[in-house]
Amino acid sequence: MPQRAAPSIVIAHRGASAYLPEHSLAGKAMAHAQGADYLEQDVVATGDGVPIVFHDLYLDALTDVASRFPGRARADGHYYCVDFELEEIRSLGLHERIDPASGRPRFPGRFPPEAARFRIPTLAEELAFIRGLNHSTGREAGIYPELKAPAWHRQQGIELAPLVLAELDAAGYLAPGQKVFLQCFDADELRRLRPALPAGLPLIQLLDRQALRSLDLQAIAAYAQGIGPPLTALADFGARPPRATGLRAAAAAAGLAVHAWTVRCDALPEGAGNLDALLRMLCGRLRVEGLFTDFPDRVRDWLAQEPG
């Protein structure tokens, strides 16, 4: 059995989102306590240009926006973050992800949507919160912000990247030696930003199905330090036994790290078996450098028990 790569970093996907609502500060605190190496921040903008930590462009599945602001949806039925100012966003209750049509939770075994009320943090608030946790615990967790749909934001009259970079700079994360990765699905945006960013700030090119169909790893290596593919792009779990696709080896040949998404114990890839089998493939055989996970504790425990 090949040994796992060192280091293999644990990236808390939207926090400890298997246990507390995604991107709640409570969920980030739990992920920090569970030993995550990095805490992820998806970032979108409010209508008054404030970066907030929230995954979706619209508020429907994660907040009580429909009951608090009836009639504010667009023609497509969605309540977009950019159509609300920060003070309105602050008034919303944040809860576990649900299907807005049925009201049922996406993951029934997770934190009950009706159990408690959380709120959406601004990026500045979350960065200060993480610095506080690092200070009080003596254990430094890094940050892993994602620019969400920058081209879409631009169509709405908001330049997202400068807003996010200003907050990172104010919090000291653009200084040399900081534990930070910046990620985005938009390759044009990362290429545009690269010359203006500190040379030491690592960029991660996220990959979706469309990007995987026309993948040019050498081109990505010209501006990014790594790729973020889905688990199923790295291994064919339908094969018996599961086999590597070749993406991991090709990325290594191009000098790119691999940070794969997303390990969910309650939604493993079909055919992957159990968590142990999945992690043996990803960390033992493929030796990926990082894993996004909703379960930082489970992945951290597995890595600690495996021979290094």
Residues with a known catalytic role: 13, 55
List Cβ neighbours of 148 (8 Å cut-off, separation of 6 or more): 42, 43, 44, 55, 57, 160
Q: How far, in Å, are 114, 127, 203 from residue 39 at the CA level?
A: 25, 10, 16
